[in-house]
Structure 1
Amino acid sequence: MTEREPIAVVGLDCRFPGARDAQEYWSLLMDGRDGTDRVPEQRWDADRYHATSPATPHSAHDARPPGRSNTLRGGFIADPDAFDPGFFGIAPREAAAMDPQQRLLLQCAWRAVEDAALAPQDLAGTETGVFVGVMANEWAFLQLADYDRITARHGLGNGYFMGANRLSYHLDLKGPSLAVDTACSSSLVAVHLAVNALRAGECDHALAAGTNLIMTPVINIFYTQAGLSAPDGRCKPFSASADGIGRAEGVAVLVLRRLSDALADRQPVYAVLKETGVNQDGRSNGITAPNRWAQQQLIESVWRRAGVTADDIRFVEAHGTGTLLGDFIEAQALGELTCGRSGGSVALGSVKSNFGHAEGAAGIAGLIKAVLALHHRTVPPSRFADDENPDLDLPGRRLSLLRSPLKLPSGTVHAAVSSFGMGGSNAHAVLASAPRTVRRGRSTAPGVLTVSASTPERLRANLLAQADALSRRPGNQLAQLCWTSNRVKSRLPHRAAVAAGDLPALAAELRRAAERAEETARADGGRRGEPSVAFAFTGQGAQHPRMTASWYRSCPAYARHFDEIDQLIAPHTGVSVRDLVLDGDPEVQRARLAQPALFAVGYALAATLAEAGIRPSYVIGHSIGEFAAACAAGALDAADAARLVARRGALMDKLPEDGGMLAVGLAAAEVEPLLVRRARLGVAAVNGPRSTVISGESRELAALEAELTGRKVAVRRLTVSHAFHSPLMRPVVEEFRRECADVSDRRPALPVFSTVYGRELSGEETMDTRYWARQITEPVRFAEAAGALLATGVTHVVEIGPRAVLTPLLSRLRADSGHAVSLHSAHPGEHAPAHRPQQLFGELWCAGLTPDWDLLYDEADRVPRRLPPYLFDQSFRSWRSGTAARLVEHSAPPVPPGTDTTSAAPRLPSGDDRGESCPPAPDGDLPDSLTALTRRLVCRVGGHDPAHVHDHDRLHEDLGFDSIRVMELKTRIEDALPQLGSLPIEELLAGLRSVADLVGYLRGQLADGSPAPQPAASEGTR
């Protein structure tokens, strides 16, 4: 038989008793610990439903008191009701009505996808399949027993199908989506369906999951009455002391791909599913009794299709419930296949020995154990190996329980997993170790690690988690880990980016960033629509030796663009400005080289950012910076610009060095009278309302400086070789005009804010010969041009140059002209860190832009690595207890030492499930009674804490208002404001994005435009 496409396990996450994640799960298994405990008080009064079990497990049924369980123990996960509803855009009241299994699956799925080195958002819109094994739905029994309290959200919060469909909905997955119930084999059957869907091409990624929560004593009582329950609540598989089932909980998600696809994407692979299969017992010796022949036939079939024999299988993760009959039949079925094995025995185990039978999640619990064993190349021991049941004759069947961990050999290793359903639906899988791949990174490559979260508090927790994990990773993985974080950890609104050249420094900076996490604002700043970017090109005076050398060394794209423009400049300068810059030659300070060098730097930086997807919508340039700005705007060819700046610098360099420049703290209007009788002085630049530069002959400038100093005016001499933008520049104007004569005259493709005119170029205006000639002597009207630029509403201004000169000027102008975020491409000082490009990309991303991170990394660095998955907020708690279906609010349990306690996500407001007693929200940006009323109603419908609802919050994405919630909100508004009549639901669904939109809409609907009336009498008691 032709071997079918192997399926790779590329990501996983899980929660089982005694284990909050896969790492703790593996530790639990390797340590051979017991994860069981007494029934938590949150579930039910265990003593009330407990009765001492009969003396032997085979006593008469009438010896078991009806309605009672024989055990007080089981395997329970910690805090099953903890959830982060805001992260998934779910309103608190909807979350409270959801089956906790659905909540756990959502968080587990997100973490599993991240563990696969994928951004969950990258799967949005794809045909990713979701297959969930689930056996129990006790939440529905608790929720829906009281008919008078059932609302629409209760219906949506229950049902097996919703376990899968919620994952598909909230992650926007378009592939097959279904829940599977085959009792105890449910989750391994779900894996089988996912494998087949991948092979059939129905999906390219699949989430295979299993879940089980014990919310009532019903099944405990059933197991007791059926003689299946272990009195001590522990499964003891294949042990002489085996006396029944101990129940357990769990939730787990695997991310599966076709192996060829995973390898092509260089994705990390835990293990490989070679083959899976399912069958049914049919009519055997009882619907709940296991059938040896069906099990044996299934295992034989799967092994045959996988192309393996008993000689290839190193260990089997058995169903192994710890019932005498079940263990005996399973040992018989396996033994028929393994008894003739050459070599040693097949290791046999069952994870149920560690925490019990997880029922709907049992199969995936065993599968993850096998996957991790192959990944770590070690099989964990069996807890009851020292008490092996001799009646099973395991040695004669070439099966052995492990008393200590088994180290697996090198090369390909195979394992098998079984899971059998109570009703006869059996599942089996054969796995193999992952293909060996070695992808070492460069030991000296810098990177920028990105971490994002839904709130500042979550950002802090996740920064610390990454710091702890990275401190234990190999140093040569730095760039690979950073590149992975850029892909996986970069889509949430609160952000931190840390650039470093080694892992210890990176971990230390992450911890420092965590201390400032609470200060972070949303990356989008509450902004609507796409961001817009302006490039502001620095002028002369910003140059320094080795400027942007760190860019050249650590950003291949910048080096390429710098080389290209240097080749265009060199024929006109006779030297390579690139070499001068990289060598730190002080000659770069002279005008003949400074101007072409500044142009080259600006041109290469702008080209690099544009290649990275940071493209300008507007440009502005300060003096010589206008040449690079013209190139970026498409108004000037790079070759022409290279010739012009070289010639311009050479002409100015030949002028006598008898001039200077003086920055004064006066407005331009105050400066002009001072120059009336000083013909050799002029205004060189107007950089702000009280920031003017005067340029001209040195003696006249010195006299003016002394006069202003005597008047207590702030003055500062600039370090320049010539009096640029002064009357002393006039001798070179005509010759430069002739140099410009053959430059093509074309309109820019982008808006250019001219610092010659102090405004945007308009109409048919171009940067022609006359413009460039005039620019030599005209003042640089930066303040006016930049003010006009900021007035456009541009969201980001990136300074392009070797030093941050314009950024502080823009920050002083922003208060009057706009609120754009200012960033600079170079380090503020001359001694830039080696990873400045990485820093800038991180700053751009934190400011809400999306650079193409790949430009920062060589091919060897672009390798996915697993990072710690997202840490969710755990402060929301909601649980229903007992058949009265009463909503019980639980405070968070005592916090263990070292646990993050900064989370402040909204809790469910006080009051019953309809939300009658949500307190009024404080007024926001629209302080009137209509604003207060609207926000109060939004809080009531969604169950939000008013302190966490703001005018810019989006009803759907941020507050979880789906069509049902909108309908409820519509009804409440109509009751509170009866003069509005019936509101059109189409408008509410389609056009109202935020709370502020809703307030504005309602204000517009009020006929007389007066402030909203006080709420109707019914509103306060609804």
Structure 2
Amino acid sequence: MVDDDERRWRHFNPEIPKRFGKISNLEKFDATFFGVHFKQAHTLDPQTRILIETAYEAVIDAGINPKSLRGTKTGVYIGSCISESEKTWFYEKVSSGGFGITGCSRAMLANRISYTLGLEGPSFLLDTACSSSMYALDNAFSAIRNGEIDAAIIGGANLLLHPFVTLQFARLGVLSQDGYCRPFDKDACGYSRSEAINCLFLQRKRDAKRIYASVVYSKTNCDGYKPEGITYPSGNIQRKLLLEFYKEIDLTPNDMGYLEAHCTGTVVGDPEECKAIDSVLCSQRQEPLLVGSVKSNIGHSEPASGICSLVKACFAFETGLIAPNINFTEVKRTIKALAEERLVVVKDVTPLPKPCIAVNSFGFGGANAHAILKAHPKSKVNYGIPEDNLPRIVTWAGRTEDAVNEIFNGIEKKPLDAEFIGLLQNIQEEEVTGMVFRGYGIFGNNGNQPTKSLVRNVQHYTGLKRPIVWVFSGMGSQWNEMGASLMMIPRFRQSIEISHNTLVPKGLDLINILTSNDPAIYENILHSFVGIASVQIGLTDVLRSLNLEPDFIIGHSVGELGCAYADGGVTAEQMILAAYCRGRVSMESKKIRGGMAAVGIGYRAIKNLLPEAIEVACHNSADSCTISGPIDEVRRFVAELKSKDIFAKEVPCSNIAYHSRYIASMGPQLLKYLKEIITQPKTRTAKWLSTSVPRSEWEQTENKLCSAEYHTNNLLHSVLFEETFAELPKNALTIELAPHGLLGAILKRSMPNGVYIPLTHRGNKNNALFFMTALGK
């Protein structure tokens, strides 16, 4: 703000104007995050501290993770003149470790950015007085065009920390005593000094993810010798710069929609600049040229003023509106171009008539700069609002909980913008060290209305890296409409359509099986097998499309088909056909009328209690197992267990005693079918931990293959889930891939120090949102 408070110094000298521009929070700096030693941080020029922050922000704003720039040919070009903190750390408070030199040397304004971000392109300070940051642009632009660098951070810095510098400017006669800057105005009598620190990120257009404007061209020159003195602006040399500039490009002065002038409100500077503009640009135009100067709004930030003008131009492109000059009442009639309205001052918010903006910047030593920016021609489709109704998930990490919520709150202020969401996701695609709070938000599509978060969660991140386990559960996870809402996820739907088309020749309508509300749909065991398998294929494909990979894979019963697919042992088509065959054999084979039941004690405790006719089909955990046998025997034993206050409950199994001797007749036929599907068995990777082969037999050659024999054995023998699960790391993150989180209770009890996340939930009408919430977790 430009005001007259005494934050910087007391008003002790009437020669020093009371009003000048000040920025806030100079004392704030996250030294730990930026890797600056605390002793160095205290002796660091505040300009350097804030430049590091704004450079980092500029890269983030471009949609780029700063980590990705490390080791690249990215240049840093900073415009700055005077370090008003030098006096303190060089001459008054000399630090014992020499930190004053490394903290206040002006070379460090650029070099410290390169050091912090790991940039290996050119890095230097430019001092051409008030045109310094425009010279930074010119150097970066030329270096990119010449192939010297791939990208650049350009910046400008100006802080007013010592009153005697302002006193010198006042005695030079360039300051407005009342502290108001009035470019082009009849009452203009000098400028008000101002602070500003800002950075822009320059890239080649083909590499850019976010474009505010394109730099068309930049050029500089110098006044050289002038009889009036070094600080007197030369309109003739400025005119020469403009003439040469427009001869070297395809654009003409008539293409300009607006010119951001250097005009600072000084008695000599404004007339000389306007005269040069009039002579070169207005003379070649059919209509008046709109002009303005950001100095009226924020004061003159001297070496940083060029960047401020560029930022103003970017805002004009972004909004389509030119910010007005303030402190303006009537043009200075002695400036002919203004009086005759060949130059028209923007005094109200005005639409930008053409997509080109020219920017002037002049130093008081005669260093002149001119550049043209052009609007990005590509407009957002439908303002970024998605055409689908799929919510968007954003994961974000920050130094504080508020920092994460600030991003989420910002998203909620506007309609859902898919392009912006994509930009945010790209920024933190790689982990950013030091971000100790992590969160996710899921945002719905409300059309033209601001979006709202459907789910939001932010937590402190301990830094603990958990191994990831994918768990594929089996029969019992099916339910009506279990795939309906998931079909809105494009990658999931694509997977289901592949499985659907694979089963069409078999006479099955998979999409109907997954979306039907018919309560009898899963009374057909064949439907259960293909339904569960197709959902597991779809969920696996979605996770893979997000580059989420497991460290371990484990399956329960038929869930080992999911392991085979996730491990690369079979294709999606092979997996769905294998599941079909398992169901087909279950329906075709002759067998006893069997039953199965879940029991609340483990294999070790129950094995001595079992009647001879019943077997333990599944070793689930230390306090859970599934028994299998003739239905009457199973019902009798369930009643007996209940009488002893032991949990026991029959489970739907289509009267088939799976994983027991009673289905031995199914083996040969299943093996025959599977051999027709899995013709060239692949070796299982170390990620896949078998639950159908005892640990002592894992290294046997036949058990290392994802073969027809392996999956036939899976059907016929007990599920050794408890024993295999014990092989996993005790702090793992287990993700259950199934139509329903069937094994949640077992997994939580078996791994109390781990984290369990199901991807779906039985009966949930919006499993797409449930799935996204699981992703966020």
- State TM-score, norm by structure 2: 0.90
Query: Does the 8 A contact of 1:144 with 1:150 survive in 2?
Result: no
Q: Distance in 1 between matches of 2:319 and 2:577?
A: 62
* 1:102 Cα deviation after fit: 1.6
Alignment check: 8 A CA contact 2:414 2:451 kept: no
Aligned twin of 2:3? 37
Aligned pairs (5 A) from 1:328-347: 328-338=271-281, 340=283, 342-347=285-290
User: Structure 2 CA distance, aligned partners of 1:255 and 1:745?
Assistant: 53
Residue 423 of structure 1 is matched in structure 2 by 365
The letter of the residue matching 1:38 is D
Counterpart position of 1:804: 741
2:587 to 628, 643, 653: 653
* Per-residue CA distance 1:798-847 (angstroms, 9 max, x = gap): 322211123432222113xxx5543333335453433455444434xxxx
**Cα distance, 1:396–1:387 mapped onto 2, change above 3 Å:** closer
Aligned to 2:617: 684
CA distance in 2, matches of 1:408, 1:307: 21
Return the alpha-carbon distance in structure 2 between the equivalents of residues 269 and 841 of structure 1: 30
Is 1:602 the counterpart of 2:536? The answer is: yes
User: Counterpart in 2 of 1:3?
Assistant: none
Cα shift at 1:465: 4.2
**Bigger RCO (CA 8 Å, 6+ sep):** 1
Contact 2:182–2:328 (CA<8 Å) still a contact in 1?
no
Q: Distance in 2 between matches of 1:377 and 1:631?
A: 52
Counterpart residue type for residue 635 of structure 2: A
Q: What secondary structure is seen at the aligned counterpart in 2 of 1:780?
A: coil
Instruction: State the percentage of identical aligned residues.
Output: 27
2:663 is the counterpart of 1:729: yes
2:693 to 728, 742, 757: 757
SS in 2 for 1:157: helix
2:377 is matched with which residue?
Answer: 435
Give the Cα–Cα distance (whole angstroms) in 2 for the partners of residues 801 and 471 of structure 1: 36
The 3 A distance-change label for structure 1 pair 297 and 575 is same
Change (3 A) 1:414 1:535: closer
Uncovered stretches (5+) of structure 2, i.e. residues with no partner = none
Shift of 1:186: 0.3
Query: Deviation at 1:604?
Result: 3.8
In structure 1, C-alpha distance between the alignment counterparts of 2:239 and 2:675, rounded to whole Å: 90
| Maintained 8 Å contact 1:544/1:589 | no
8 Å contact kept, 2:254–2:284: yes
Residue of structure 1 equivalent to 2:347: 403
What amino acid is aligned across from residue 322 of structure 2 in structure 1?
V
Tell me if structure 2 keeps the 8 A contact 1:537–1:628.
yes
Rounded Cα–Cα distance in structure 2 between residues aligned with 1:148 and 1:94: 13
Structure 1: runs of 5 or more not aligned: 1-17, 19-35, 53-68, 844-1022
Choose which of 419, 435, 460 in structure 2 pairs with 1:520. Answer: 460
- 1:814 paired with 2:761, answer no
User: What's the counterpart of residue 747 of structure 1?
Assistant: 683
- Structure 2 residue aligned with 1:352, among 289, 295, 303? 295
1:294 and 2:227 matched: no
Q: How does 1:223-242 map to 2 (within 5 A)?
A: 223-242=169-188
Contact in 1 for aligned 2:189/2:267 (Cα 8 Å):
yes
Map 1:254-293 to 2 at 5 A.
254-259=200-205, 261=206, 267-284=209-226, 285-293=228-236
Q: Is the contact between residue 696 and residue 728 of structure 1 (CA under 8 Å) also seen in structure 2? A: yes
| Contact map agreement 1:182 1:425 (CA 8 A) in 2 | yes
Which residue does 1:449 correspond to in 2? 393
Counterparts of 2:307 and 2:675 in 1: how far apart (Å)?
A: 76
Structure 1 position 698 matched with structure 2 position 637: no
Supply the AA of the counterpart residue of 2:728.
Answer: L
Cα deviation for residue 202 of structure 1 reads: 2.1
Structure 1 residues 779, 126: CA separation in 2 closer, same or farther (over 3 Å shift)? same
- Structure 2 residue 445 is the aligned partner of structure 1 residue 502: yes
Letter in 2 for 1:756: S
Q: Pick one of 704, 708, 714 that aligns with 1:766.
A: 704
Q: Distance in 1 between matches of 2:69 and 2:360?
A: 30
* Residues 1:481 and 2:420 are matched in the alignment: yes
Matches of 2:77 and 2:563, distance apart in 1: 54
**Which letter maps to 1:671?**
I
* One of 690, 714, 727 as aligned partner of 1:775: 714
Match of 2:130 in 1: 184
Indicate the SS of the match to 1:155: helix
- 1:304-343 Cα deviation digits (max 9, x unpaired): 3234444433432222222212223223322323553554
| Cα pair 2:444 2:452 within 8 Å, conserved | no
Q: Distance in 1 between matches of 2:719 and 2:562?
A: 16
Where does residue 32 of structure 1 map in the other structure? Answer: none
Contact 2:485–2:765 (CA under 8 A) maintained in structure 1: no
2:46 and 2:393 map into 1 onto residues whose CA distance is 33
> AA paired with 2:261?
A
Query: What secondary structure sits across from 2:181 in the alignment?
Result: coil
Tell me which residue corresponds to 2:653: 720
Change (3 A) 1:643 1:226: closer
Separation of aligned partners in 2, 1:316 and 1:712: 86
CA displacement 1:552-608 (0-9 Å, x = unmatched): 33223x33333334444555x432434422345543442233223323332343344
Q: Tell which deviates more after alignment, 273-282 or 761-770.
A: 761-770
Provide the rounded CA distance (Å) in 2 between the counterparts of 1:596 and 1:449. 30
Cα RMSD (Å): 2.9
Q: Is the 8 A contact 1:131 1:178 kept in 2?
A: yes
Matched residue SS, 2:347: coil
Which residue pairs with 1:316 in the alignment? 259
Shift of 1:347: 2.5
1:196-207 equivalences in 2 (<5 Å): 196-207=142-153
Whether 1:582 and 2:504 are equivalent positions in the alignment is no
* SS of 1:673 mapped into structure 2: coil
Aligned to 2:95: 149
Matches of 2:673 and 2:422, distance apart in 1: 47
Aligned length: 760
Aligned to 1:426, the other structure's residue is in SS state strand
Please, which of 40, 47, 53 is the counterpart of residue 11 of structure 2?
47
Change (3 A) 1:811 1:430: same
Q: Does 1:88 align with 2:29?
A: no
Query: What is the aligned partner in structure 1 of residue 474 from structure 2?
Result: 539
Distance 2:374 2:516 in 1: 55
The Cα offsets for residues 991-1012 of structure 1, whole Å up to 9 and x where unpaired, read as xxxxxxxxxxxxxxxxxxxxxx
1:649-690 alpha-carbon deviations (Å, 9 max, x no partner): 223235568433222221222212221xx2332212121111
Shift of 1:298: 1.4
Deviation at 1:626, TM superposition (A): 1.3
Tell me if structure 2 keeps the 8 A contact 1:554–1:837: no
Which of 746, 749, 759 does residue 825 from structure 1 map onto? 759
Give the Cα separation in 1 of the matches to 2:507 and 2:304: 74
Q: Which residue of 2 aligns with 1:172?
A: 118
TM-superposed CA distance for 1:270, in Å, is 2.4
Query: Shift of the alpha carbon at 1:539?
Result: 0.9
**SS of match in other structure, 1:653:** helix
Of 547, 557, 577, the residue aligned with 1:613 is: 547
SS of the equivalent of 1:776 reads: helix
TM-score when normalising by structure 1: 0.69
CA contact (8 A) 1:538 1:801 kept: yes
